[in-house]
Chain A
């Protein structure tokens, strides 16, 4: 049960798009359509952005979108805004267990 692999950091200018990848294996990301994404601002609890690979809870802006191909899931933030500067974590069901990614810091330049 190893952590999912995410880039340590990504950056973009306001208005641009950034994509965060989350790579696992066929035992987690590739094997189930239960990938979720969380946003965590410093000192705060994580907040659910995406569940079941592509679904957004009510209240999450449609600037946040996600997909999956094989063992890699991706989160795209379109029209980057200053408030999007945060840490982002992916998460996947892994056949009874749940596993998180190491997290990606998004910096808005």
Chain B
């Protein structure tokens, strides 16, 4: 059974780079069973915002509103998915979820991590 666990710094200073990782257990991150891994965020009390996806092949698609600041990648040596968001500001404060598309749908998130809280503050 595939499980996801996000990790991050908790607190990030404005203008710095946010770095998050998502440890995948139960399957390889580039398994043929996986279509892509994605990141979604949710400000406190608000809705879900799609951030982007990284395919098992390593290709990426980013949200147009975040594209200029965002990098997502796979690390097959550690079986982790990573997210880097540059030049953060207060509106980047949110719970960040890692999620996976396990292949039987072109676009859906079959499995989610519990999320990690990120606060941008000086």
Contacts and interface: CB of A to CB of B under 8 A. Distances in A.
A98 interface: yes
A100 B49 contact: yes
B106 A93 contact: yes
Interface in A43-102: 44-48, 51-52, 55, 57, 89, 91-93, 96-102
A97 B109 contact: no
B61 interface: yes
Interface residues of A, number: 27
Nearest to B109: A48
A38 B50 CA distance: 13
8 contacts: A32-B107, A45-B114, A47-B112, A48-B108, A93-B106, A96-B61, A100-B47, A101-B47
Given A96-B61, A98-B38, 16 more contacts: A32-B107, A34-B105, A34-B106, A36-B105, A45-B112, A45-B114, A46-B112, A47-B112, A48-B110, A52-B106, A89-B47, A91-B50, A93-B106, A93-B107, A100-B49, A102-B47
Interface of B: 38, 40, 47-50, 53, 61, 63-65, 97, 99, 104-115
